[in-house]
Amino acid sequence: MRPEHAFIVAKREYLARLKSKGFWIATALLPLFMAAMFLGPALAASRAKAEQRLAIVDATGAGLGRLLAAALTERGAGLDDRAGLDDRAGLDDRGERGEGVVRFETQLVPPGPDPAVRRAELDRRVRAKELGAWVWLTPGGLRDNRFEYHAANLSNVVTQEVLRSRISRVVSQWRLRAAGLDAAKIAEVTRPVALSTVRISATGSHAEKGIGGFRLAFGLCFTLYMVILIYGQQIMQGVIEEKSSRIVEVIAAAIRPTELMAGKLVGICLVALTQLAIWVAAALVLTTPAILALLTLPADRTLPEVPWPVIAHLFVLFLLGFFLYSTLYAMIGASFNSVQEAQQFAAVGVVFIVPPLLFIMPILNDPDSPLAVGMSLFPFFTPLVMMLRIASKMPSAWQIAAAYSLCLLTIAGMVWLCARVYRVGILMYGKKPTLQEIWRWVRYS
Amino acid sequence: MTASLELRDVEKRYGDFVAVAGLSLAVPAGVIFGLLGPNGAGKTTTLRMIMDILAPDSGEILLFGRRRQAGDLQRIGYLPEERGLYRKMTVIDQLLFLAEIHGMKRRQALPVVEDWLARVELGEWGRRKIEELSKGMQQKVQLIGTVLHQPEILVLDEPFSGLDPINQGLFKELLLDYRRQGRTILFSTHGMEQAEKLCDHIGLISGGRLVLAGELAEIKRRAGGNSYRLVAPATAADLERVRALPGVEVAIPRDPLDPADPRSASVRLLLAPGASSSELLRQLVQFLEVRELRSEEPDLEDIFIKAVRDAA
């Protein structure tokens, strides 16, 4: 292995990619894409409010129907319900300022002499789309704390949740009034409370929206996921390109395959680091106080603080993740003749990198849980899971050291394996190899 | 004459298949050496072992009269049978990269690259991407990439296959020019005619073994005097009868036997040593209307076929 040879290859990879339009388009587009991913659903939720035409049948004889209709249509409805929802949905913090998510248009319908006839009629109106849903308030329901809700669509969980919480409030207010409290008193005792969140970190404590920390962890984890996957696939495509364009044999006659492989990995790694650095620099510039002042953020909103150690770990985790996955992809690339052939094996990489994304919620909710610790110690999961943990609450030093060491050991193994498959694979044209054949390359080379 | 490239008892197996079996071969310095053999004879495997792309299972490969050292490969220009370039790179970047991996500095390589491009009339195309070039132009770029670093030895695998006539001519000129400068050229081919026109030395391999090697003129001289050209209307069955005649070792139809017009049939005959041509003629006229039977210098194909037969 002569480093100067690897350097020539790395330089070619780096310059060729930096000169391509694709790199700059991706550098500009990914932040836009991420912004759309995060803001999109929140904006959509706040703009496109659900509407429901609701018939309220009050058979309680206690005037509950009227109270409910008033509660559902009052201005600013949904305030406190939203706070409850947000904790679960986790992605929107507009609740305390915004309007209700669901707008109800209510009509009171008397139960009539024969409830069965009335129910049939209401069902018919729902089917004819005159109504969205109907709710039936009964004395029995009041006693058992359970009312009926009939609708054509029952996957409208947000609407149901708002309705449920509103009925609960109306019922509890009605009960309080029945117990002798006056309206002002009731309003006072049922006022909801909120949590002001303060992050305790190594450097001190400061107020921060829980949702901000969540976004930071999610954003960093997702960035890592995208970059590792994109550049892993680029390695694979690069190797296949050299193989299918047949240039590889010309190169292999002048320098060792391991030098070619090392140069390729390092060159593409530097491209990725360049891109990450551009993003981090852009984020730092855009969040300087001078720029933020231009953005007229509401006074009560704070951006999450991104401490330097977290940025440092982002780069370290990227390097670990990159070499874990790029060696895997280089191996896959070297084994096949075309991207199409390699595609089914490329899915192997995805299988390893995706599981952490499925566990984002439980990991962020308790970053020190056995699940989070265990996953962060499995090398192929380490980059993403550790990113989540580090961004939310710095894990203990021994856990970080253990996870990184395991990663480095695995990388050493992957490089060894990859070098062997690569050496043989890049000169194998023609037939698609079987797994047994690839294993034979490893044993004999 | 010292050998600039030598193989000693080299063997390479792929599983149970023996691609190269105990091959020994010396390529003297300053000659054009043709490695001949049919497809699958082990030519590509041999050249790949010389270039250290494949490692022999046993045996030794000597370069410049000694065991291979670091940096030796940079003194060789190699053109594989399967060739290609980075499609998205510009011509100049591509050639500079190839020069760099062969040990040249960028600064030192740039004038050489420009010189070459001008020489093959690609001067205007230096900043274009490879994929924008025609196939013939790409071939020129590939050839420049092979010789750019002024290699002392050229190792070329089927260099003429796939080349258009203009580039074939260009390449031939280049090879002859290289020989004049005292450089060594080893190339493989299954086309005997190319080899016959260019080579000073040849090595014939079949089934991974060397069946004949030496100076071409000497080989031809040794094989001469026993080769004849027969012109006679003949069918395939007639040809079989010719082959069965005593003293006939090889009978190859020169032009395809045309059943509609067998008159044109001409057959190359190789006789066993000591066989008499008048005896042959006496036998031929018994079943053929012989128009012509004359002594000819054997060509490489005859020699090759005979050598393979003798080896078997």
Structure tokens at B276: 């008499």
Cβ-defined contact of B84 to A247 (cutoff 8 Å): yes
CA atoms of A440 and A315, how far apart (whole Å): 36
The pLDDT score that the predictor gives to residue B97 is 95
Helices (H), A145-297: 157-178, 183-189, 210-244, 247-252, 257-286, 289-294
**Domain contains B51:** yes
The answer to whether residue B308 sits within a structural domain is: no
In this structure, the answer to whether residues B21 and B135 fall within a common structural domain is yes
Query: What class does CATH assign to A48-195?
Result: alpha beta
Is residue B303 domain-resident? no
pLDDT score recorded for residue A38: 63
Tell me if B21 is assigned to some domain: yes
Interchain contact, A245 vs B85, CB within 8 Å: yes
Q: Are residues B270 and B153 in the same domain?
A: no
B97 and B189 housed in the same domain: yes
| Best CA proximity match to A227, nearest among A307, A324, A304, A305 | A324
**Do residues B132 and B178 both lie within one domain?**
yes
CA pseudo-torsion sign B176, B179, B183, B189? positive
Q: What CATH number did the domain enclosing B276 receive?
A: 3.30.70.260
Q: For chain B, what is the mean pLDDT?
A: 87
Chain B residue closest in CA terms to A429: B82
**Which 120-149 residues of chain B touch chain A by CB within 8 A?**
145-146
Q: Please report how many Cα atoms fall inside a 13 Å half-sphere around the Cα of residue A42, on the Cβ side.
A: 16
Q: Name residue B35's beta-bridge partners.
A: B188, B203
Give me the DSSP letters along B80-92.
-SS----TTSBHH
A contacts of B89 (beta carbons < 8 Å): 16
B180 and B257 inside one domain: no
Helix (H) / strand (E) containing B45: helix B43-50
* Residue range B212-221: mean pLDDT, rounded: 87
Q: Are residues B96 and B204 in the same domain?
A: yes
Q: Is B76 on the interface with A (CB under 8 A)?
A: yes
Supply the pLDDT for residue A257. Answer: 87
Model-wide pTM > 0.80: no
B89 and A16: CB-CB below 8 Å? yes
| pLDDT by residue, tens only, chain A of 445 residues | 788 999 999 999 999 999 888 899 988 887 787 667 666 665 665 555 677 889 999 888 888 888 888 888 775 444 444 443 443 333 333 333 334 567 888 888 888 888 888 999 999 999 988 888 999 988 888 888 889 899 888 888 778 888 888 888 888 888 888 888 887 888 887 777 777 777 776 666 666 655 567 778 888 898 899 899 999 999 999 999 888 888 888 998 899 888 999 999 999 999 999 999 998 888 777 777 666 666 555 544 555 667 788 889 999 999 999 999 999 999 999 888 888 888 888 888 888 889 999 998 899 888 889 999 999 999 999 999 999 999 888 899 999 999 999 999 999 999 989 988 888 888 877 677 888 888 887 876 6
- For A92, A333, B50, B187, the CA distances from B80, given in Å and listed in that order, are 61, 21, 12, 10
Q: Which residues of A touch B (CB under 8 A)?
A: 2, 5, 8-9, 12, 15-16, 20, 241-242, 244-247, 249-255, 427, 429
Interchain contact B282–A (C-beta under 8 A): no
Q: Considering only CA atoms, which of B143, B86, B102 is closest in space to residue A8?
A: B102
Contact A73, A82 (CB under 8 A): no
Over residues B79-125, the pLDDT tens digits come to 998 888 998 899 999 999 999 999 999 999 999 999 999 998 898 99
Segments of B80-200 assigned E as strands: 153-157, 184-189
Q: Which of B182, B214, B246 is the last residue of a domain?
A: B214
pLDDT band for B154, please (50, 70, 90 cuts).
Answer: very high
CB contact, 8 Å: B196 with chain A?
A: no
Tokens 């792309």 belong to B53
How far is Cα B126 from Cα A188, in angstroms, rounded to an integer? 82
- CB–CB of A251 and B89 under 8 A? no
Residues B184 and B260 in one domain: no
Place of tokens 């000659």: B31
Residues B161 and B263 in one domain: no
The Cα–Cα gap between B95 and B128 comes to 12
Q: Which of A240, A242, A245 to mutate to test the interface with B (most CBs of B within 10 A)?
A: A245
Contact B101 A255 (CB under 8 A): yes
Alpha-helix residue ranges (DSSP H) falling in A378-396: 382-392
pLDDT at A41: 62
pLDDT reported for residue A32: 80
Percent of chain B with pLDDT over 90: 40
Residue B242 backbone phi and psi in degrees, to 5: -60, -45
Q: Does residue B311 belong to any structural domain of this protein?
A: no
Q: Which of A2, A20, A252 sits opposite B53 (nearest CB)?
A: A252
Backbone CA torsion sign across A328, A329, A332, A335: negative
How far is Cα B230 from Cα B246, in angstroms, rounded to an integer? 16
Residue B83 at interface with chain A, using a CB cutoff of 8 Å: yes
Total of domains in chain B:
2
Domain extent, residue B290, equals 225-296
Judged by a CB distance cut-off of 8 A, whether residue B85 touches chain A is yes
Residue position matching structure tokens 């069955």: B237
B174-192: average pLDDT: 90
**B116 and B35 together in one domain:** yes
CB contact under 8 A, A254 and B74: yes
Q: Which residue of chain A has the CA closest to B96?
A: A12
Query: Would you say residue B57 lies in a domain?
Result: yes
Q: HSE on the CB side for A22, CA within 13 Å?
A: 10
Q: Is the Cβ pair A251, B51 closer than 8 Å?
A: no
Looking at the domain assignment, is residue B301 inside a domain? no
* Domains of chain A by residue range: 48-195, 205-444
Query: Residue B1 — pLDDT band, cuts 50, 70, 90?
Result: low
Distance from CA of A267 to the nearest CA of B (A): 14
Chain B residue closest in CA terms to A19:
B89
Contact B84 A20 (CB under 8 A): no
With the C-alpha atoms ordered A265, A271, A274, A275, is the resulting torsion angle positive or negative?
negative
Q: How far is B10 from chain A (nearest CA, A)?
A: 18
Task: List phi, psi (to 5°) of B210.
Answer: -80, 125
B54: CATH: 3.40.50.300
Residues B28, B94 within the same domain: yes
Q: How far apart are CA B302 and CA B309, in angstroms?
A: 11
A256 touches A5 (CB < 8 A): yes
Q: Report the residue of chain B nearest A428, measured CA to CA.
A: B82
The residue ranking higher by pLDDT, B303 or A322, is: A322
